[in-house]
């Protein structure tokens, strides 16, 4: 489940305080360095590189996990838009960043440019305070 030096694999050690959910294939957490309130990573639990590295079970469940997490983040934040971003360039381990885009985000920072807000909008405390609401919303959105 681990690959040397992989940021996403290292999140296996993330505690409950950072976690929205974890199942056998997928996990969603607040990621240090991306801890902007309303930003969460959805990642494959095993080290699978890029979308093409996912196995059939991961592929079969990715869409529902992404849908449910996006719905939960939208519900908890009230964001007018919630993005699902996946580049795989800086971190090849397959993951998607779920990003709530508030109404206060200027047009020149929307779309992929929202990542430029990472440094100026990081607030680990506020991100952690939002987590319980996202967790509760996820439990409502995700089928049992």
- Helix/strand/coil for 81: strand
Low-confidence ranges of the chain (pLDDT < 70): 1-3, 144
What pLDDT score does 3 carry? Answer: 61
For each of the domains in the chain, give its residue range(s) and CATH number, in order of start: 7-141 (3.30.428.10)
Angstrom CA distances, 104 to 5, 54, 117, stand at: 36, 36, 12
**pTM for the whole structure:** 0.92
Distance of CA 127 to the CA centre of its chain: 12
What pLDDT score does 70 carry? Answer: 97
Contacts made by residues 29-36, CB under 8 angstroms, sequence distance 24+:
30/124, 30/127, 30/128, 30/131, 31/7, 32/124, 33/118, 33/122, 34/97, 34/118, 34/122, 35/122, 35/123, 35/124, 35/127, 35/128, 36/99, 36/117, 36/118, 36/121, 36/122, 36/123, 36/127
């Amino acid at each position: 489940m681990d690959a040397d030096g992989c940021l996403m694999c290292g999140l296996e050690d993330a505690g409950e305080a950072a976690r929205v959910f974890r199942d056998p294939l997928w996990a969603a957490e607040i990621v240090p360095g991306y801890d902007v309130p309303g930003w969460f990573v959805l990642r494959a639990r095993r080290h699978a590189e890029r979308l093409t590295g996912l196995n059939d079970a991961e592929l079969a469940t990715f869409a529902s996990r992404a849908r449910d997490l996006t719905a939960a983040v939208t519900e908890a934040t009230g964001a007018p838009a919630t993005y699902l971003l996946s580049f795989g360039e800086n971190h090849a381990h397959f993951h998607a960043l779920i990003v709530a885009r508030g109404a206060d985000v200027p047009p020149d920072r929307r779309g992929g440019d929202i990542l430029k807000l990472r440094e100026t909008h990081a607030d680990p405390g506020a991100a952690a305070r939002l987590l319980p609401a996202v967790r509760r919303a996820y439990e409502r959105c995700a089928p049992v």
